[in-house]
Amino acid sequence: MMMNRHFTERKRALGALLLVLSIFVLIMIIPGIGAWTTIGAGHVGVVTRFGAVNRVVNPGFVLKLPLIESIYSMETRTQKEQIEALAASKDLQRVTSTIALNLHLRGENAVDVYQNIGEDYLNRIVAPAVQEVFKSTTSQFTTSDLISKREEVKRIAYTELKNRLGKYNIIVDDFNIVNFAFSQEFSTAIEQKTVAEQNREKAKIEAQTALIQAQGQADAQKILKDSGSLSPEYLQFLAIQKWDGKLPASTNGVPFIQIPTK
């Protein structure tokens, strides 16, 4: 009876030891919760110990304290973001635009970014900064200037955004204004103005053409007159060519145009 009891106790102890060893092995071999993990290329790892930032590790195989340390991967490669921005022009017209920018995180300062901003720095810092810069820039230009001076608008906005985000260790590589869109009322007014200008230009061209034709006819008649070719007979011939064959509505039935008998 005593032997059976000792055997049962040893069996329980062995089972408990195996359970502890199994848990330890799992802790050691499973990445994330274990003693190691990997950081992918183009990223850095921010290591925290009991929630406090401890250090930054480079891409590759990384050792850590199980259940004590955690690692957060932060991308340092160039990222492409598109942000919809809304603002007003200098002449108080509503302006919307799609802003495309390329940016990356300064890897050696990833700890500062993680501590002061967090992993979601794109939504917390970048998007609001783009909105503010777009508003600040468009307010310096009229609506027509935003279109005609697009490169200047881009340059001013890019410089301001680069300075703002650089303070947070976020580097802006490139900045583009994909499009400008205005209110429906303004777009309609621009379309009407364009049509009116086209009509005015067309009328101007037609008037110039008619003037040139009239001047040409006058010059031709002067040449004929000066050369003696514009005789009464020739003038009467021209009148006959234009006559539609109908008599005037007056004067005893006598034709208005006299045709020579010889």
Per-residue pLDDT tens for 99-132? 999 999 988 888 888 888 988 899 999 999 999 9
C-alpha dihedral sign at 223, 229, 232, 238: negative
Domains identified in the chain and CATH numbers: 21-75 (no CATH), 79-182 (3.30.479.30)
Mean pLDDT of the chain: 78
Per-residue model confidence as pLDDT tens digits over 217-239: 766 666 666 665 556 666 666 66
Whole-angstrom distance, CA of residue 181 vs CA of residue 86? 10
Angle at 255 between CA 232 and CA 225, to 5 degrees: 15
So what's the pLDDT on residue 2? 53
